Amino acid sequence: MGKIRFPRLVRVLDSVFGHSFLKLIACLFSVSVMVSCIDEDNYENTPEGNLEALWQIIDTRYCFLDYKAESYGLDWNEVKGRYMACLTPNMTSAQLFEVLCNMLAELRDGHVNLYTAADVGRYWSWQEDFPANFNDSVHRLYLGTDYKIASGLKYKILDDNIGYIYYESFSDALGDGNLDEVFYYLRSCTGLILDVRNNGGGQLTYASMLASRFTNEKRLVGYIAHKTGPGHSDFSDPEPEYVEPSQGIRWQKKVVVLTNRACYSSTNTFVRNVKGMPRVTVMGDRTGGGSGMPYTSELPNGWLVRFSACPMYDAQMQQIEFGIEPDVLVNMDLADIEKNKDTLIEQARSFLKK
Amino acid sequence: MTGTADRVVSRAYLLGLGHVNLLDTYLSPLSYQGGQLSYLGERSYATRIAGGKVGFQSLFQAIGCYALSPVQNGTTMGGFLVSRTGLHYRWQPSAGLRLFAGGNLNFTGGGLYNLRNGNNPAQAKLQLDVAASLAASWSFRVGKQLLALRGQVDMLLAGLMFSPNYGQSYYELFSLGHYDHNVCFIFPGNAPTFRQMLTFDVPMRRATLRLGYVSEIEQSQVNGLKNHRYSHSFMIGFVRDLHFLSRKQIPANQIFY
């Protein structure tokens, strides 16, 4: 081993390092420095940089560009040029937000949002431009005060022995135990109304779990795919989705599922799952759609963007992004509302009594 | 040391604090930067192979990191467990200087969690790889102190890693069981990965103080997804050298039972 004394340390280190050890270490470490970095393109935190980054996220990861080009002529390249021309170097944050939201609105997708600390950019025309087909005051009269609550399900037996379940959000937790209790309680009813109006979605697993109570056989209900690359047409082979019969209590009588335009996302998927089942009738208005599972990304200025990433189809491989037609179209009658009657619930009751 | 009966096993225990730069385009196109806290345990000893010129090294790392987005309104947390086991052949070209070459088998498990994301909040990390390893150590005296400096660089050669496909959701993977190229072959072309360690040992009374620097350049580009973790940590800890003796070498009154 080399023996070094302090007074000569610097000189000795220099001579030793000069020909052996540090040279070797430096050589080893420099190998990694020379390695190419795997990094992402960095956009400037400027109006142009943020619009470019947002456009790029949608261009490479959004899953309906081809479909929307076909259905209403969306040209995403043209959109970029049009909105880039709206930018000015000194524009305020609020002005930039407005431009970016308008650009995203071209996608006509309720799953596309831009989140800032001050506001949420949104496209809600899929429900705002249509009748609500739901009146909260009237609905409360139907529920009364003696209804039961099993997790996210509110339920009761109506006075004509029709079971009624209102499920307001698929984000509300749902378990097999809850469903067993609910269906056991309603077992003597002559029919069931499952009301999912105004349910804006939530967990897909709850949509499958609830649907599994209405079938006695494994059913093909649709397909799901995902993007495999940045190209607009880069998709995986669609994989079939099935609903399997629940091991718990399954409903064996007629059931009417009530829908309106505010049925979105997972609720849209739930309606897809149950439509066509032998004892199920979907009644009300067309659902709002939203068949792309949303992902999240972000811009250089920190704004969060949500967008549809994984497309889901029905069992015939048709798009359901813009909603699902009901089996029986029923709209709320204003005269009924004045009489504190919910047209959809009343029609469902009549249907179930036939 | 050539026999197991009287071999010396060195065990090192280090804690580190450093800087980390994280990118995972499945979660965000932005690089997050922050701090990293880590534990590094090392066990090494000479084997009987080639007359004791082949040494065994086992490294275990537990890593926790916390990083913020460029404008600091997004947070990503990460946790990883790393096991590296390998062998080195030793040359001694001059007094005090030792060179080592070998390889190791590495397993990394863990993941990243982005606190703001919706359906793509997390990314799992599962990787098994083989790496080439080069090292050099130099022992020298300063006064009566025998000091040791060691550098080691490991470079990934080949392996397998888990990755969702470009836009594939974890719902598809784990709720529906749909797989799509989720086990990916990695090599320096798509995963140029280096792990480096520089340590300086100063013997104290009962143990050896070890100061270290660990740098990890881990990156990959598979299924169109880019990710990297660049970390630089300064480590401090101690080394214990355990000398295993056979019963014949120990006085009988020193054995309790």
Bridge-based pairing of strands A255-259 and A280-284 is parallel
Contact criterion met (CB below 8 Å) for B114 and B159:
no
Average pLDDT, integer, range B164-176: 94
d(CA A135, CA A132): 8
| CB contact set of A10 (below 8 Å; sequence gap of 6+) | none
Contact criterion met (CB below 8 Å) for B167 and A226:
yes
Query: A257-289, pLDDT tens digit by residue?
Result: 999 999 999 999 999 999 999 999 999 999 999
Query: B216-246, pLDDT tens digit by residue?
Result: 999 999 999 999 999 999 999 999 999 888 8
| Whether residue A320 sits in one domain with residue A231 | yes
Q: Phi/psi of residue A49, each to 5°? A: -60, -40
Whether A4 maps to a domain, the answer reads no
Domain boundary among A123, A148, A166: A123
With bands split at pLDDT 50, 70 and 90, how would you rate the model's confidence at B193? very high
Q: Which domain holds residue A97?
A: 47-123
Tokens of B247: 């019963």
Short-list A284, A219, A279, A286, CA closest to A255: A279
DSSP string covering A1-48: -EEE-GGGHHHHHHHHHHHSHHHHHHHHHHHHHTSPP--PPPPPSSHH
Query: B131-148, pLDDT tens digit by residue?
Result: 999 999 999 999 889 999
| Whether residue A247 sits in one domain with residue A189 | yes
d(CA A295, CA A62): 9
d(CA A264, CA B137): 64
Tokens of B223: 């299924």
Percent of chain B with pLDDT over 70: 98
Whether A160 maps to a domain, the answer reads yes
Q: Phi/psi of residue A18, each to 5°? A: -60, -35
| Whether residue A244 sits in one domain with residue A160 | yes
Contact criterion met (CB below 8 Å) for A238 and A224:
yes
| B-chain residue closest to A28, CA distance | B153
Whether A154 maps to a domain, the answer reads yes
Q: Which residues of B touch A291 (CB under 8 A)?
A: none
Whether A297 maps to a domain, the answer reads no
| Whether residue A116 sits in one domain with residue A259 | no
Contact criterion met (CB below 8 Å) for B69 and B30:
yes
Three-state SS at B31: strand
- B220–chain A Cβ distance below 8 A for any pair: yes
Instruction: Choose the mutation target among B119, B123, B221 for the interface with A, i.e. most A CBs under 10 Å.
Output: B119
| Whether residue A339 sits in one domain with residue A205 | yes
| CB contact set of B145 (below 8 Å; sequence gap of 6+) | B202, B203
Range 222-251 of A in CB contact (< 8 A) with B: 224, 226-230, 234, 236, 239, 241
| Whether residue A143 sits in one domain with residue A72 | no
| Whether residue A106 sits in one domain with residue A226 | no
DSSP 8-state assignment for residue A237: P
Q: Which residues of B touch A42 (CB under 8 A)?
A: 31
- Nearest-Å Rg of the Cα atoms of chain A is 29
- Which helix or strand (DSSP H or E) is residue B56 part of? strand B54-68
Burial class (CB in 10 A: 0-12, 13-18, 19+), A268: buried
Q: What does the mean pLDDT of chain A come to?
A: 92
More confident residue, A225 or B248: A225
Contact criterion met (CB below 8 Å) for B40 and B16:
yes
Tokens 């920190």, residue located: A302
| Whether residue A156 sits in one domain with residue A241 | yes
Domain boundary among A123, A150, A180: A123
Q: From residue B228, give the alpha-carbon distance in Å to each of A28, A316, B10.
A: 21, 41, 32
Burial class (CB in 10 A: 0-12, 13-18, 19+), A56: middle
Q: Phi/psi of residue A36, each to 5°? A: -70, 140
Domains and CATH numbers, chain B: 8-248 (2.40.128.100)
Compute how many other C-beta atoms are within 10 angstroms of the C-beta atom of residue A231. 13
Short-list A290, A311, A318, CA closest to A63: A311
Give the pLDDT confidence score for residue B71 in this predicted structure.
95
Instruction: Choose the mutation target among B178, B222, B231 for the interface with A, i.e. most A CBs under 10 Å.
Output: B178
Domain boundary among A123, A148, A174: A123
Give the pLDDT confidence score for residue A29 in this predicted structure.
59
Range 120-179 of A in CB contact (< 8 A) with B: none
Query: B195-223, pLDDT tens digit by residue?
Result: 999 999 999 988 899 999 999 999 999 99
Choose among A36, A53, A309: nearest Cβ to B167: A309
DSSP 8-state assignment for residue B254: G
Q: Phi/psi of residue B38, each to 5°? A: -145, 155
Percent of chain B with pLDDT over 90: 86
| Whether residue A236 sits in one domain with residue A206 | yes
- Tell me whether residues A204 and B117 touch, CB distance under 8 A: no
Residues in chain A, pLDDT under 50: 1-7, 9-14, 16-19
Whether A170 maps to a domain, the answer reads yes
Whether A239 maps to a domain, the answer reads yes
Whether A14 maps to a domain, the answer reads no
DSSP 8-state assignment for residue B252: G
| Whether residue A242 sits in one domain with residue A155 | yes
CATH classification of the domain holding A269: 3.90.226.10
Q: What does the mean pLDDT of chain B come to?
A: 94
Give the pLDDT confidence score for residue B199 in this predicted structure.
97
| Whether residue A266 sits in one domain with residue A213 | yes
| CB contact set of A82 (below 8 Å; sequence gap of 6+) | none
End-to-end CA distance of chain A: 100
For chain A, the domain total comes to 2
| Whether residue A145 sits in one domain with residue A119 | no
Q: Which residues of A touch B228 (CB under 8 A)?
A: 37-39
- Tell me whether residues B31 and A39 touch, CB distance under 8 A: yes
Average pLDDT, integer, range B167-173: 94
Give the pLDDT confidence score for residue A82 in this predicted structure.
97
Whether A183 maps to a domain, the answer reads yes
